Chain A
Amino acid sequence: MANFNIDAKKEMTYDAIVIGSGISGGWAAKELCEKGLKTLVLERGRIVEHVKDYPTMNIDPWDMELRGGLTPEEKKTYKSSIRSGWVGTETKHFFADDAANPYTEVKPFMWIRGHQMGGRSLLWGKQTYRWSDLDFEANAKDGHGVDWPIRYKDIAPWYEYVEKFAGISGEALGLPQLPDSHFLPPMELNCVEKHIKSKIEKDFPGRNMIIGRAAHLTEPLNGRGKCQYRNRCSRGCPYGAYFSSNAVTLPAANATGNLTIRPYSIVQSIIYDDAKGKATGVRIIDAETNEAIDYSAKIIFCNASTLSSTQILMNSTSNRFENGLGNDSEELGHNLMDHTYRVGAMGKVDGFDDKYYKGRRPNGIYIPRYVNIDEKTKTDKFLRGFGFQGGGGRAGIQVAANIESFGANYKDNILKPGPWEFFITGFAECLPYHDNKVTLNKNVLDKWGQPTLSIDGEFKDNEKAINKQIQEDAIVMLEKSGLKDVVGFDNEHGFGYGVHEMGTARMGRDPKTSVLNEFNQVHGAKNVFVTDGACMTSSSCVNPSLTYMAITARAANHAVSELKKYNI
C-alpha cells in the first residue's frame, strides 16, 4: 500500500484543491491528479488507509465483548446515525461523532456522515444505476424545479468511463428508463428470487426483476480482488472488492505523485477575491490545533457531501457574495430532496424448504420503475415514479423468537434454516420543493465554533401518493406470486433515511434560478465546482452515487480543459 503524502506544510499553493474524499471527492482527486494537477485533498477526519485501517474486517460476533452492541455513551455519540440500525461495534469508527457535530432538525432528519478519508464511500449501499432522460427531462416536462442543463447524451460517455474503472456488476436489460452500464458479470439470484422473478414478469407485463446492479467486483479488476461474499463491506473490504475512495480512486490519485491529502482539515470557507472575480483558495481550521490556515489553488472542487458542501458555500461570504458563494439566485440551501424509504411488503415463501444458498451476497434484487415511463403507463395519481429493492432469504433470529414454542424440540428446530422470506421496499422520487431547505444556524456552533445547519425538509403529497402506490403494488405483486402472510409496511420515515440527500446547490441553465451551471461551476465563481449530491436538480427514483461519479469526472475534465485555455 502506497503511503499517502499528508505533508501540507511546505506547500501552501496547489493547482487544485478538493474538499472531501468521499465518492465524488475521490473521483475529483483521481481525475485532476491524472491530468497533471498538483492536488490537495482536504479531509475533515483522519486518514483511513485501505486494509490497514479496517480493524474489524475479519472479526466474528464472539470476538466483540458486546457482540456488536453499543454502550449508552456510544449511543449518544452516534445519536443520529444510530437510527439507521447500521451502527455497531464493527462499523462505528466509520460514522461521524454526531455529538461533536450537531445540527438542528426543524423537521426530522437522520443525517449520516462519514468524517474520515473515504467518507461514506466506506459505508454506502453500492447500488449503482444510470439515470435516463426520463430523469433529466422530468423537471422540464412537469414544471417542478428548474430544467437540468444536461441530458443523458451529455453524461452517457462519463457513465461508461467511471464504470470501467469502478467495476459494476449487473445484467443488461435494454430498458430506456434504466440504461445499461458497462457490466461485469451479474451476481446470482437465489432459488426463491428466481421463482418470484418469473411470476412477476409473467403476471405483470412491463415489470422486470433483476439482481441489483452494484459496485461489487465479480471479476478481478486493476489489482483488486473479486467479492468473497462475506457481506462485511461496511467494515472495509480487505479484497477491495467494492468501490470506495480508499480502495480505488485515492490510490490511483496517489500513484501519480500529484496528490497531497491533509487530514483533520475542517473547511471554514472558500476564499473569494472580489477584485479577481474568482476564488483563490480555501480556509481551513485544523481539527486538532484549531489553527486557521489558508491554502491557495487555481480551481476548487467542493465534494464535502450534499449538505456539507452547501454549508461551506453558505459560510463563504464576501462583498460580492454576501449571502454565500454563488447565491445570486437565493436558491442555495433550497430544493433539498431524498428518496422515501422503507415502504413495501414482505411475506413467506412455501415450497423451497429443501433449498438453501451458500455465501452472504451483499446485494439484492431490483425492480426498475414501471409507472409514468410512457403514455401507456401514465397515472393521474402522482408525478414521477418509484423502483423497488429487496431480496429473499431464510429467516433469522426474530422469526425464530416469534415461534410459539420453547424447549428441546424447539431449539433443535431453530438450529435449522428458518422459513423463506421475501421483501420488496420502494424508493420514491421526491420533487424539488423550494421550501425543503437547509439554513446556516449561528446560534448552534460545533466543537470548532463554526455555525451549523438547520435542516427543514419533508415529503409532501406527491411522495405520499407514490408511497401509497408502492405499498399497494408490493402487496399485489407478492400475493400474486404466491407468498403467504403478506404484510405491507410504511415506516413513514422522514428525510435522511434514504441517505440519498440531494439538491441545495442545484445545476441549471439560468444563474437567476440555479447555483451551478452545466459543468457544475458556481455561477459567478467559475473556478469553483460542486459535484456531489448538492448539485442535483431533481432526484429521480434511482440511486444517485453513480451519477455523482460521472458528473465529477465530466466536470474535472472540463475544469482542466478550461484551465489550459486560461478561461478560469
Chain B
Amino acid sequence: MNRRKAIQKTGLLAGTAVLMPSLLSLLQSCKTESRLDWQPLFLTDDEAKTISTLIDMILPRTDTPGALDVKVDLFIDKVFAKTYDESGQQKVRTDIAEFNADCKKNFGELFIGLNEQDRLEVLKTAEASSGKFNGGIWGTAAGKQEPVGFYRSLKSMAIWAYFSSEEIGENVLNYDPIPMGYQGCIPVSDVGNRWSL
C-alpha cells in the first residue's frame, strides 16, 4: 500500500480512536517496507512477512478493520509458537517454504517479492486448488477430514483470529454475552452482522 492511499483510508476511519495505534504502525511500515514492525515468537521475519501479506489480502481493511489492524498475524505466530508441537512447527516452515517455492517456480519470485497482480494470481490459484473443510458438528469434523493444505488452513486460522479478536468480537460483530432468552426466528435485518460468540 502506498502512503497516500493509506492516509486516505485513515480518513475513512477518522473518529475510531481505538484503531489509531495500529494505523500509525501501518503508516510506519509503509515507510520502511521491508522491515517487520513486530518481533515474531516463532516465525522468521521473512515467514512472518509472508503470513502478514497473505492475511492482509484475505481480510483487508475496508470500512471495518482488516486482519492486520487487529494483529491477526501476531496471534497466528503465537498459536504456532505456543500450541504446536515440534513436528507441527516444522510442518508450518515446510508449508511456507513450499508455498514460496511455487511462487518462485510460477512467477520467478518469493511471494513477498511479487507485484500485486501476481500475488492475486497466486491466491486465486490457491483458492481453486486447496481442499475444503467438512461440516463440523459439536467441535469436530463430520466424516473423515482430508488435509486442506496450507492456504485454506491459514485462511481459516485468520478468520478465527479475526472474529475472536476483541475489536471485531465486541464492536464489529454482534456481541451479546448474556442473551437472556432464545428467539428462533427474527429478521436478519434486526441483527446485521453475525453474532460474535
Chain A residues near B (Cβ < 8 Å): 58, 60-62, 65-67, 69-72, 75, 84-86, 187-191, 193-194, 228-230, 342, 344, 346, 353-361, 394, 396-402, 404-408, 410-412, 414-418, 421, 423, 425, 487-491
Contacts and interface: CB of A to CB of B under 8 A. Distances in A.
B186 A355 contact: yes
Q: Which of A188, A358, A418, A491 has the most CB of B within 10 A?
A: A358
Nearest to A391: B137
B188 A85 contact: no
B183 A359 contact: yes
Interface stretch (B20-28, B90-98, B101-109, B162-170): B162-170
Q: Which of B82, B161, B189 has the most CB of A within 10 A?
A: B82
A428 B172 CA distance: 43
A400 B78 CA distance: 23
B163 to A, nearest CB: 7
A401 B179 contact: no
B180 A397 contact: no
Interface stretch (B10-18, B44-52, B138-146): B138-146
Q: Which of B160, B164, B185 has the most CB of A within 10 A?
A: B185
Which bucket holds chain B's interface residue count?
Answer: 35 or more
A238 to B, nearest CB: 10
Nearest to A417: B194
A419 to B, nearest CB: 11
B135 A194 contact: no
Given A191-B184, A357-B185, A358-B191, A72 B83 contact: yes
Nearest to B57: A406
B187 A354 contact: yes
Contacts of B85: 72, 75
A491 B144 CA distance: 6
A398 B153 CA distance: 9
Given A66-B83, A411-B62, A357 B182 contact: yes
A282 B143 CA distance: 45
Contacts of A399: 133, 135
A356 B132 CA distance: 25
Given A229-B182, A356-B188, A489 B143 contact: yes
Nearest to A424: B137
B193 to A, nearest CB: 5
B179 A69 contact: no
A318 B144 CA distance: 48
Contacts of A410: 58-59
5 contacts: A61-B169, A66-B83, A69-B82, A394-B194, A487-B135
Contact of B58 (A191, A229, A407): A407
B135 A191 contact: no
A187 B173 CA distance: 25
B60 A69 contact: no
Contacts of A85: 138-140
Given A189-B184, A401-B159, A411-B59, 13 more contacts: A69-B79, A70-B83, A72-B85, A86-B138, A194-B185, A229-B182, A230-B178, A359-B182, A400-B159, A401-B156, A402-B152, A415-B193, A417-B188
B38 interface: no
Contacts of B133: 398-399, 401-402
Nearest to A83: B140
Given A60-B177, A402-B152, A415 B84 contact: no
Nearest to B192: A416
A357 B127 contact: no
A404 B128 contact: yes
Contacts of B195: 358, 360, 417
Contact of B181 (A86, A359, A398): A359
Contacts of B189: 354
Given A190-B184, A401-B156, A404-B127, A71 B58 contact: no
Contacts of A425: 137, 142
Contacts of B169: 60-62
Contacts of A358: 176, 179, 181-183, 186, 191, 195
Contact of A357 (B59, B139, B183): B183
A62 B71 CA distance: 12
B187 A397 contact: no
B39 interface: no
A421 B135 contact: yes
A72 B137 CA distance: 24
Interface string B118-152: 00000100011000111111111111100000001
Nearest to B60: A408
A248 B139 CA distance: 27
B182 A361 contact: yes
Given A401-B133, A407-B58, A425-B137, A71 B82 contact: yes
Contact of A412 (B62, B176, B182, B188): B62
